[in-house]
Amino acid sequence: MKSVAIIGAGVSGLTAAFYLKRAGIPVTVFEAGGRVGGVIRSLRQDGYLAESGPNTILETSPKIAALIRDAGLESRRLEPPREAEARYVVRYKRPIAMPGSPLGFLTTKLFTPRAKLAVLQEPFVPARRDGVEESIAGFVVRRLGREFLDHAIDAMVAGVYAGDPGKLSVQQAFPKLAALEEKYGSLIKGQILGARERRKRGEIAKDRAPKFSFDEGLQVLPDTLRERLGDDVRLNTSVAGLARASDGLKLDILPGDGAGSGYGAVIYAGTAFQLAKLQTESAGELFSQFSEIRHPPVASVVLGFRREDVAHPCQGFGALIPGVEGFNILGTIFSSSLFPNRAPAGHVTLTSYIGGERHPELASLSPEELFELTQGDLSVLFGVKGRPTFRHCAFYPMAIPQYNVGYGRHRAAMTEIERCIPGLFLAGHYRDGISLGDSIVSGCNIAERVEKYLADA
């Protein structure tokens, strides 16, 4: 059987390679960088564990649990304690717990009576089914009102995409929200009536999905997959181009060693902005458009403090911050409350994010400036004082692909590329959703597609 080349050793590429190899299909993973895992970065130092990229995996699909089992990682999986379910949103310059029940929504101080009334009236708002693409801001204002956008959705969008709700497409970035209105005419009705259908499909809504990590952080997953793949992963090896050959697909590999031809299939699981640079004999105009996809810069700042130097209990997942509140950071995760051994005894770890579409100019500041800005915000929000006992930051100049209004044409181009170049498959967070769970499912699905393609060839 012909082998499969996989470009990119992030979670999607590693997952696809792992399952193809289990199916008896030879694979080679080419990674331009010197490590696997993409944006996943876990650092153990001085008793702290810092996550510079994602902090958890949301188990939204049975395929995610299957990968953990098949990779032999069930014994290293960690679940957060029940109290870690608490989430906060900042209003009036302080974190307020998000309501967890209808009664809690009616009594919360997060929203004014007018905003609560607007939410209660949502089932009676006429559905829009004219097929016109809409921003998440326009969608939310139309169905839930301006206050809900400014004080809830804006914070959520910053936490998930580091994005701008006025630019993100509800159909592309939050397709399930758009589908609820299309099918049920209401978000609230859809949440209630659609629960049974989601259970039948084995799917779990992201706001209800179990969260988990591993004893030494999320880096455990890509590192383990690499161990299972062994010499099939080639680091510091770039792929500059792709072409058809008499014996399959040929790759232009740098540094070249003559091993880049005869592949039965190629999976591209890298980034959209690198996909735009991939040299091909055909469909070049389709590839070049991916350079237009916006990737705002983001900096991750992890600070450790003595427990007595933080006034807030920091029990829960963390706090999201709406732009109208005027802070530099987009939000903070209470890392040491989520999982054990993220901080030494008597200390706490707080992971904050700066930049995104809200403040892109701040992400590229020096580490010292980022530490100072972050601690200044944390002192107001959580009563932090004293000097940090741990500091770490990471800068991502092109972080998260923005599924902005018009993104559908990029996805259509991806489908057309696969049609024009048989044997080339595209997968990853630029196509199938930006969360870590989405990337795992993308890798599983593309492996199934490639296996079928090879069997039918």
Phi, psi (rounded to 5 degrees) for 184: -110, -15
Is residue 124 scored above 90 in pLDDT? yes
Per-residue pLDDT at 284: 81
Q: Return the DSSP state at 230.
A: G
SS3 assignment, position 277? coil
Q: How far is CA 166 from the centre of its chain?
A: 20
CA atoms within 13 A on the CB side of 94: 6
What whole-number distance in Å separates Cα of residue 419 and Cα of residue 53? 34
What is the CATH topology of the domain spanning 111-205?
protoporphyrinogen ix oxidase, domain 3 (1.10.3110)
Q: What is the pTM of this model?
A: 0.94
What is the arithmetic mean of pLDDT over 90-96? 97
What is the arithmetic mean of pLDDT over 367-381? 98
* CATH of the structural domain 4-40+219-293+403-456, one choice from 3.50.50.60, 3.30.360.10, 3.40.50.10170, 1.10.150.110: 3.50.50.60
Is residue 389 scored above 70 in pLDDT? yes
Is residue 454 scored above 70 in pLDDT? yes
What whole-number distance in Å separates Cα of residue 221 and Cα of residue 415? 29
Residue 330: name the closest of 89, 10, 137 by CA. Answer: 89
pLDDT digits (tens, 9 = 90+) for 187-232: 998 888 877 776 666 666 666 789 999 999 999 999 999 999 999 9
Q: Helix 220-229 to helix 11-22 angle, to the nearest 10 degrees? A: 40
Is residue 278 scored above 80 in pLDDT? yes
Per-residue pLDDT at 258: 53
pLDDT digits (tens, 9 = 90+) for 4-48: 999 999 999 999 999 999 999 999 999 999 999 999 999 999 999
pLDDT digits (tens, 9 = 90+) for 163-183: 999 999 999 999 999 999 999
What is the arithmetic mean of pLDDT over 383-406? 97
Is residue 405 scored above 70 in pLDDT? yes
Per-residue pLDDT at 88: 97
pLDDT digits (tens, 9 = 90+) for 330-373: 999 999 999 999 999 999 999 999 999 999 999 999 999 999 99
Per-residue pLDDT at 192: 81
Per-residue pLDDT at 83: 84
Per-residue pLDDT at 201: 63
**Average pLDDT of every residue of the chain:** 94
User: Percentage of the chain surpassing pLDDT 90?
Assistant: 87
Per-residue pLDDT at 206: 66
Termini Cα distance of the chain: 10
- Distances in Å between the Cα of 182 and the Cα atoms of 128, 155, 400 are 7, 25, 27
CA dihedral sign, ordered 100, 89, 352, 396 = positive
CATH code at 41-100+210-217+296-399: 3.90.660.20
Per-residue pLDDT at 93: 96
Domain extents for the chain? 4-40+219-293+403-456, 41-100+210-217+296-399, 111-205
| Residue 314 and residue 397 in contact, taking contact as beta carbons nearer than 8 Å | no
